[in-house]
Chain A
């Protein structure tokens, strides 16, 4: 049915993104940072496929480098958040009691700050850099991952195979490692995929607001941000980076849906 076409499109788009990033390591059409004041705001042409910006920099080259920067930030953030989320979520869901209550109160308080605002204020404190973005977004999204892991741990903990492990004389750490963790992974994998999409979106939003990745390094978000004043005279500047974001998110989301269809126990039966 629709599932198949969906999956292929998802794989295709993510594959394309990977291809663009990998190509960018060996070949870029121009130096993405080279200023060329003779060639300012040139419309798309054979020489510059996607045109040039207000400093004469090649948009295609910048978009390719932007893909790399965005993907790296997203990967680092996802890795950090998932690792921390697993530790906190498993502790909270498996130990329950006071540990759970304290961790959850903190998590709820953190959840009360809209993600992007929290990231914004953390960046205000940490200073504007790529590391700050990774840390800020990790903290902002941590509660979502913790919730998923905790819910999984709470439900797995009630399964009889966990009781069987206790009845066999296994210690609690071993039980978590051998039985709870592996069975909590499917939902974590699903949320990790979604998280990747959220982070790409948030990072581009932060960059669009002017508090993301600092200039002159290009990201899709700050490319859009600097395109805003030239909307009337150079509309191509607003189109290309936006399409890049849409394609990436579409691919990731479809991949996530496919994953959910495969891993969701409700569909397995």
Chain B
């Protein structure tokens, strides 16, 4: 078990290294002087010169990469080319909001998906199954941002139950913040249940076909016990992997949802800095989200043997 965890950790290192290299090279790919690019058109020659020295642009590229990597590991992601704020702090403050929305939504979506996926598969081809499958297929076809717009139209504009534009931080007005977060969370939850439900359903169907399920029934166990003890853990393992992938993907920013609901999250920060060509922030966001993605999946890999002890061997 320990060797398994250790192995997973070691395997993540080359991936993380390549991720960092890709992020570093991305900005170098832009034609022109990186310092000029980073500071924008109107920068003074002195500012460019000082950034050049700060970035070590006169040194060889590998040396630059090493310096940059060293600083990033130390948490120093540079400063925004536009506001001058430190990128690290900027990212962390925006990430809090995104993380809250994503964690709650994915948690809810997983609960819903596991329950309905399991039940639908258990009664395959029943009316319940068809309804679940139909809903899941429909949800899969609805873009989250449009779902958000429609919900906003109904609950914000027509019924006027919830605010349409803006956001108050939790620290200033807790109730207000909750009101602003209801629709984004509902939207994201609905959007993410589609894939997860289908996954849970199909892996449950696979497990239900196996001999050990018939064996469990042949022992005289009740359907409830068969489902909870013998089917659920084995059927949940693939879904767990997908939950990890989803979390990793969404932590990187739910840019579209944040745009619909005008939330100042990490995704919006990334989009705005792309539009403003604020490269230090783009670079920082990418590095942060990719690292987070790798770490979340690492966590899932480490949790996986709880549901499927076979993986520790291979």
Chain A residues engaging chain B, CB cutoff 8 angstroms: 1-2, 105-106, 108-110, 112-117, 120-125, 197, 201, 204-205, 208-211, 224-225, 227-228, 231-232, 235, 238-239, 241-242, 245-247, 249-250, 253-254, 257
Please measure, in the bound complex, the distance between the C-alpha atom of A102 and the C-alpha atom of B308, giving whole angstroms: 28
Residues on the B chain within 8 Å of A123, using CB: 274
With contacts A124-B274, A125-B26, A208-B256 known, is A235 near B153, CB below 8 A?
A: yes
B141 pairs with A113, CB closer than 8 A:
no
Minimum Cβ distance to chain B for residue A255 (Å): 12
Please measure, in the bound complex, the distance between the C-alpha atom of A211 and the C-alpha atom of B153, giving whole angstroms: 24
Residues on the B chain within 8 Å of A245, using CB: 143, 146
B274 pairs with A211, CB closer than 8 A:
yes
A238 pairs with B149, CB closer than 8 A:
yes
A114 pairs with B275, CB closer than 8 A:
no
A1 pairs with B125, CB closer than 8 A:
yes
With contacts A208-B259, A231-B152, A253-B137 known, is A246 near B146, CB below 8 A?
A: yes
* Pairs A–B under 8 Å by Cβ, sample size 8: A113-B252, A113-B290, A125-B27, A125-B30, A228-B259, A238-B146, A238-B149, A242-B146
A224 pairs with B145, CB closer than 8 A:
yes
Chain B residues engaging chain A, CB cutoff 8 angstroms: 14-15, 18-19, 22, 26-27, 29-30, 125, 130, 133, 137-138, 140-143, 145-146, 149-150, 152-153, 157, 164, 248-250, 252-253, 255-256, 259-260, 267, 270-271, 274-275, 277, 279, 282, 285-286, 289-290, 293-294
Q: Is the interface of B mostly helix, strand, loop or mixed?
A: helix
Minimum Cβ distance to chain B for residue A197 (Å): 8
Among the listed A2, A109, A197, A228, which residue makes an inter-chain contact with B18, where contact means beta carbons less than 8 Å apart?
Answer: A109
A125 pairs with B29, CB closer than 8 A:
yes
Minimum Cβ distance to chain B for residue A180 (Å): 24
Q: Find the A residue at minimum CB distance from B125.
A: A1
B22 pairs with A109, CB closer than 8 A:
yes
B286 pairs with A246, CB closer than 8 A:
no
Q: Closest 8 interchain pairs by CB? A: A109-B18, A114-B252, A242-B146, A249-B141, A250-B141, A124-B274, A112-B290, A114-B249
Residues on the A chain within 8 Å of B130, using CB: 2
Residues on the B chain within 8 Å of A247, using CB: 141
Please measure, in the bound complex, the distance between the C-alpha atom of A241 and the C-alpha atom of B290, giving whole angstroms: 32
With contacts A113-B19, A114-B293, A238-B153 known, is A124 near B282, CB below 8 A?
A: yes
Residues on the A chain within 8 Å of B29, using CB: 125
Given A205-B255, A211-B271, A247-B141, output 7 extra A-B contacts at Cβ < 8 Å.
A114-B293, A120-B271, A209-B256, A209-B271, A242-B150, A249-B142, A249-B143
A113 pairs with B271, CB closer than 8 A:
no
Minimum Cβ distance to chain A for residue B140 (Å): 6
Minimum Cβ distance to chain A for residue B229 (Å): 26
A211 pairs with B15, CB closer than 8 A:
no
B271 pairs with A232, CB closer than 8 A:
no
Minimum Cβ distance to chain A for residue B128 (Å): 13
Please measure, in the bound complex, the distance between the C-alpha atom of A197 and the C-alpha atom of B142, giving whole angstroms: 11
Residues on the A chain within 8 Å of B157, using CB: 231-232, 235
B143 pairs with A117, CB closer than 8 A:
no
Please measure, in the bound complex, the distance between the C-alpha atom of A224 and the C-alpha atom of B145, giving whole angstroms: 9
Minimum Cβ distance to chain B for residue A31 (Å): 26
Q: Find the A residue at minimum CB distance from B267.
A: A117
A114 pairs with B253, CB closer than 8 A:
yes
A120 pairs with B260, CB closer than 8 A:
no
